[in-house]
Each structure stands twice: as structure tokens, then as C-alpha cells.
Amino acid sequence: MKKEIDKTDPLLYLREFTAARIAIGRVGNSIPLKQSLEFKLAHAHARDAVYSLLDIDGLMESLKVFELPVLHLYSKADRRHTYLKRPDLGRQLNEQSIRQLAEYKTDADISIIIADGLSATALNDNTFNLLEVLIPMLRSAKLTIGPITLVEQGRVAIGDDIAHELGAGLSILLIGERPGLSAADSMGAYLTYKPKPGLTDESRNCISNIRPEGLIPKLAADKIFYLIKEAFSRKLSGVALKDNAGLLS
């Protein structure tokens, strides 16, 4: 349902462009009850997102259409409490997952990694919608794709380890972003050329806020595909690779 807007609000035009809480009014020294309850509900959604779980069965079923192997992996963080307290463990694969990857080394061009991050809800809701646009684009460019990996308790850097173990030329890591008070379902995509353990954030490109109310799947796929082509052409990624798509020459 579309949120009703006070037609007398002088900031009406700003609300058309943002979900941020602006000009919410007041009652005495406090904010109105309705806005207070909306804030508490948004906070509850954000907390729920942090503790949400990847729908492994549902994702595996939906990903069958791409006719690629799908692997279920784990980081060294054995439970959510550990994951939140020890970010370093979320960046590393556990021993069982490393052994599992050794059986699938393919030297493919692309490795697609799906990690829960701080909002598994974002992955459950947005992963398939993005990949059903992106994977045909990759295949049309004759890029080979290795096994898709689903990672529980994973952080961004774990994608470097996975893609390196698979021998991939470039990694695409999809991860749930830190939920805010206006979006608990935002997915990010991180691209790394020649991924390997030990890389840091300046080696990656990020496309953020992938969701129906943010960057829609088609536009996100276009951006990712553009950056992939540039990465392979220029043999780099990260701060040295800029998104110049659409700029006048």
C-alpha cells in the first residue's frame, strides 16, 4: 500500500524521492504516535534481517534453471553469535568447505558466490531476480561460469577464497547488506578480478542497494555486466576501475 503523504507538508517534494524520515511532525516535545510506531517496526525488521537465515532449499530449487552445480559452504563462524562477534571468521572457509571446493576446480571465467552477510532476507528475495537477467548476459558474451556457491555466515572477503579455490578469473559475490531503518532487504554485489586470499576492499567494485525499491535487477545486471567486461579488458578491478557507462566521450 502506498504511504499517504500530508498534502500541506512543505517538504512533500522531497518525500517523493526518499524513504528517509523527514518532516515527521511532533506532538508537544515528542513525535506523533504513528511515526513512533513506524520507527519501532522498522527497527524490528532490521534486527530480524540480521538474524535471518538463507533459504538454502528454496535457493537451490530456483537456481536449477541455470543448469550449474550449486555448492553449500560454510565459513569458520559456526553460529550467528560467533559471526557477529568475530568478523574474521566470517571471511574464512571451514575445512570441510575447502575440501568440497577441491573437487570442483574448473578454471571458469566467472565464480558466483551467494553469502548471507547481514541480511539473508535480501538474498532470499533478490538473488534469483538478478541472476535470471545476469547469467544469460554472461553466457551471451561466451564467459564460462563455475559452480554457484551458497555460503552461510559469510562476509565479503570469503568470495576471494572461494573463487581462488575454483580457479575463477573473476568473482561476483552477492551479499546481504547491513539493514537500515528504511531498507532491510538490500543486496550488494562485489566484483573482484583475479581473486585470491588476502585482498582488501580497494581491489573490489561494489554495486549496492539491489532491491525492488532501489536498484532494480535489470539495471543492476547492466552495471555488473559492464564492469565485468571492463575488468577482463583492462585486467583489473577495484579503485582503478570506474563505472563510466553512460558518460559522454
Could you state, in order of their start, the residue ranges of all structural domains in the chain?
Answer: 56-234
Dump pLDDT digits (tens) for 147-190.
999 999 999 999 999 999 999 999 999 999 988 877 889 999 99
The CATH class of the 56-234 domain is: alpha beta
Which residues lie closer than 8 Å to 157 by C-beta, 6 or more apart? Answer: 91, 199, 200
Tell me whether strands 148-152 and 187-193 are parallel, antiparallel or unpaired. unpaired
State the pLDDT confidence band at 248, using cuts at 50, 70 and 90.
Answer: very low
Instruction: Give me the pLDDT at residue 183, please.
Output: 84
* Residue pair 237/202 in contact by the 8 Å Cβ criterion: no
83 touches 75 (CB < 8 A)? yes
Distance, CA of 195 to CA of 203 (rounded, Å)? 9
The pLDDT of residue 23 is above 80 = no
Residue 210 confidence (pLDDT):
96
73 vs 178, more confident: 73
pTM recorded for the entire structure: 0.87
DSSP 215: B
Q: Which of 16-30, 132-146, 210-224, 229-243 is least confident?
A: 16-30
Could you report the per-residue pLDDT of 208-247, keeping only the tens digit for each? Answer: 999 998 999 999 999 999 999 999 999 999 999 987 765 5
